Homo-oligomer: A and B are copies of this chain.
Amino acid sequence: MRPSSRKLDQMRSVSIETGVMKHAEGSCLIKIGETHVLCSASIEDKAPSFLKNTGQGWITAEYGMLPRATNSRNRREAAMGKQTGRTQEIQRLIGRALRAGVDRRALGERQIVIDCDVLQADGGTRCAAITGGWVALRLAMNKLIKAGIVSSDPIVDHIVAVSCGIYAGQPVLDLDYAEDSNAGTDGNFILTGAPKLIEVQLSAEGASFSRAEMDQLMDLAEAGCSELVAAQKAATE
């Protein structure tokens, strides 16, 4: 029934290759099916000014998409002279999600910038960016620990994200583009490794949804996220 012939509760194949950007303190190329996102972590010695003298650090994220990552070419945001509302919304989400998994006091007054650049898009790019961004962050934290710059691990738990939605009347896990562009309801679920919830964003396009459907999507998301946590562990341990 699904365009990809996957089962309703089946994720796409997940692959995470680390160390792909030689200059970054942490990096990975995450592939969720045909969605490919290059993630890097850059450590900066200073925290943003609103944190001065608080003893706390910050995690922020920036998101971009190559113009031809998609089926028809998008205008380059740098050439347009601004980031779209969609881009800003996504990068705020990534930063907020990753901060939820970090003890910012243990990090101390420094900032880690997570760059997530979509090389190829096939649905679920923001979820892939969060899952891959965490891997880059984990590797950068390892560097700080190994160098003795931080003494206790600032990472509190894994952070992973997956999209679910109602496609052709059925709740399905990990929407690809063909499904995403036709789903009546879809959403993103961000979870910890515990698993506990960090963020839920569910939105109906054209059709409303019921609490029962919302519960089914939550069940799918929990299953998918446990798979993503395993992939993060395999890549970083």
Contacts and interface: CB of A to CB of B under 8 A. Distances in A.
A82 B88 CA distance: 12
A206 B98 CA distance: 10
B218 A200 contact: no
Contacts of A92: 85-86, 89
Nearest to A114: B68
A146 interface: no
A22 B80 CA distance: 24
Identical copies in the complex: 6
Interface of A: 21-24, 27, 34, 38, 40, 42, 44, 62, 64, 66-73, 76-83, 85-89, 91-92, 96, 100, 113, 115, 117, 119-120, 187, 192, 194, 196-206, 208-211, 214, 218
A78 to B, nearest CB: 4
Contact of A196 (B40, B44, B208, B218): B208
A22 B38 contact: no
A79 B62 contact: yes
A38 B21 contact: no
A81 B79 CA distance: 8
A66 to B, nearest CB: 5
A48 to B, nearest CB: 14
A66 B203 contact: no
B197 A200 contact: no
